[in-house]
Structure 1
């Protein structure tokens, strides 16, 4: 049985109150009725009771088209499902609802979401990858997946160079960006063949490891500061503390009173490395005749949650170290990382035990420790060359060679 359609005017008797009545479409099937609004309100003068439609021909045509939409839906539904009821019009009404626009996920949004979904990463790693994300957004506020091209990488590279970034820092930014592009590929958000890093080559340059010899470290230890140079003094002491313990800047900066263990033998340190997540225990009163313990006692706050080296951020301490380097007549390019390298080379000089150095610096790979061994070997070779060059001279006994007659 086919549905019968007809127009119904002012079924809810609204004309008396509002002056206009709603035009509806009545669908009749098997004794049941269902009404559909045309969203059209007309006055009594605009409605033709005899023809049961609007007097205006264009409005009447629009009403016929609305009935036609219902008829077409019924025909197609019957053809597909072989049956039809008034309740099936719910599918028609659902199709009329405006489709909510779903925002397409951009690459930058994907990067931001993935940063929050990697709790296994060390805090320091998350920080550096967040810096890369912020720098990318500074370069281009929103990067779509279709933007990930070789040209984008070139432009990003140029942007970083103009920002004054070192070539190795630029390479680090690219490694982070490449990681999240690879993650997008794993999530089927980007085709593997469209990875722009397939053709873009990362470039680095070798850097010299800066470390202090014992006499150079001694010159820094012997520096004296005025009361107005308290920041310089704290930067010097924080640097020396890491020369004695091998702590990274992030771990030294995070030190608080609650990480210091007070024993009968003196002060010890128990901490969890921010970068590796590994726990470590340092005998501060034993290392370098208790020098790191004396520094800790000098700055130890009363409250547990206060940083021992308060205010000594990486940027600040590295800036102050340039001044300290000039004062102590050491390498003017001195930076905080040199303290850890100084600890590694000094410990190997004293012990000759590469395994001990590896454990103390929490290196997961032996190759990370090898640079300290090579550095010490270079120092020893230079010393040997100097000794034997001074003690050797050309053989000269004053004689001359003569031929036989």
Structure 2
């Protein structure tokens, strides 16, 4: 009797030839150059007895992320799951309301249209009666069931900052007032009151998006404005230890400090294998397998609760470190390495690097909201557990290892991550060039001056 489907309004750019549009609709293929670049409204389309009527919903999406064949968001769309659930929920509600009326009386086309209009405008699923901070607690209780300590600490800090914002600024935070004004106020609070840089502010907003996705999916709110919040952009500086610096750490005399000595070897093992702190801490003897090619570490990485198996070849230097500790693993509940808490590891790693004279001044330019901040600190102050992973990737690239091979070992899934290291490889090449060509030529500067000044135009 009737059929329902979703339809995206203003899919094409203004001025697109109607023949092009008809051709695209017929073939169900879209040439991206003709697509509208802005978000447009999603309509519910009703066909009945030869008439077609569309009803505007509250949802919007970029045409590039919309599948015109399925009339649903593409799976590659960042918020595919959430939006798809909401659209399905709306469609089901419309069908239920129409069915309820049909069981009682005959309905006309006008009746069907009125039911759809009423449902779309007024009868979207009502949020559950929970305030924002109650939902935050529910979310955290579920989130903490299966996360590592660092993730748990991150969300506890996130919760505290939201409460601080509410208390210090008198902002009554509810699902209904999560809008652009809130976005600006909270960002300004993090920058000015908490004195945070954009890199950290961005992480808070990432946690907030995870919370809101959960809230929408579980019916606590229909407010989708958070998806339009402008992301805070920042550049990531990849600070890592070069091989000569790793050698300085390896040969450092720490015989009089047993604790630092252990941290030194664990940190080097991380640099040789490229794995995360949590995976290093959880290493057990059963994960180590001897093959024809040598010792391998067969690890099930867990990130975002998605297990993934990676195989890490254990080089000779790393195997020597394992042999230092593996016989005492039973006394550590089966853990091979005596890894301390992340906080203590980071503290002692900095101390070790300072003793190894890794004191080169690092200059950084950061931003706190729109304020430019210049940072000049000794290199050792930037080194932490995660620096080991960055050192592994950087040194492997500079040795000529294929990026795809590195990703298989580290477990990186996004190839764009490797782009962060391109400028490192470029700067290293320039550094090597200067080192090689100035080797044994102490008077190179004077020689250049004798030859005259080079004019760059």
| 153-162 or 106-115, larger mean C-alpha shift | 153-162
Alignment-derived partner of residue 269 in structure 2: 241
Cα distance 1:293–1:394, how it changes in 2: closer, same or farther (>3 A)?
Answer: closer
Higher mean displacement: 135-144 or 371-380: 135-144
Structure 1's 323 and 118: CA in aligned 2 closer, same or farther, altered over 3 A? closer
Instruction: Indicate which of 396, 415, 419 corresponds to 1:347.
Output: 396
Q: Normalising to structure 1: TM-score of the pair? A: 0.60
Alignment partner, residue 377 of structure 1: 426
Identify unmatched segments of 5+ residues in structure 1. Answer: 1-102, 399-405
Q: Which residue of 1 aligns with 2:159?
A: 134
Q: Secondary structure of the residue that 1:372 maps to in structure 2?
A: helix
Note if 1:278 corresponds to 2:308.
yes
- Say how many residue pairs are matched: 290
Distance 1:379 1:372 in 2: 11
RMSD between aligned residues: 3.8
What CA deviation, in whole Å up to 9, does each residue of 1:171-226 have, x standing for no partner?
11111112322443455543446x3564x544343232111111111000011214
Aligned counterpart, 2:238:
209
Match of 1:173 among 204, 224, 228: 204
* Higher RCO structure (Cα 8 Å, ≥6 apart): 2
Matches of 1:294 and 1:135 in 2, distance apart?
44
Change (3 A) 1:120 1:371: farther
Q: Distance in 1 between matches of 2:292 and 2:437?
A: 49
Contact 2:298 2:311 (8 Å CA) reproduced? yes
Return the alpha-carbon distance in structure 2 between the equivalents of residues 206 and 110 of structure 1. 33
> Is this contact kept in 1: 2:349–2:384, CA < 8 A?
yes
1:402 is aligned to none
2:310–2:408 Cα contact (<8 Å) kept: no
CA–CA separation in structure 2 for the residues paired with 1:187 and 1:302: 43
The answer to whether 1:292 aligns with 2:318 is yes
Q: Which runs of 5+ in 2 are unaligned?
A: 1-127, 359-378, 453-457
Structure of larger gyration radius: 1
Preserved contact between residue 345 and residue 373 of structure 1 (Cα < 8 Å):
no
- Tell me if the contact between 1:322 and 1:334 (Cα under 8 Å) persists in the aligned partners: yes
Q: Do the aligned partners of residues 305 and 264 (structure 1) sit closer, same or farther apart at CA in structure 2, a change above 3 Å counting?
A: farther
Check whether the contact 1:256–1:305 (CA below 8 A) recurs between aligned residues. no
| CA 1:302–1:367: 2 relative to 1, 3 Å | closer
Structure-2 separation of matches of 1:120 and 1:357? 32
Say yes or no: does 1:336 pair with 2:373. no
Question: 3-state SS of the aligned residue for 2:307?
Answer: coil
1:105 Cα deviation from its structure 2 partner: 0.9
Corresponding residue number in structure 2 for 1:4: none
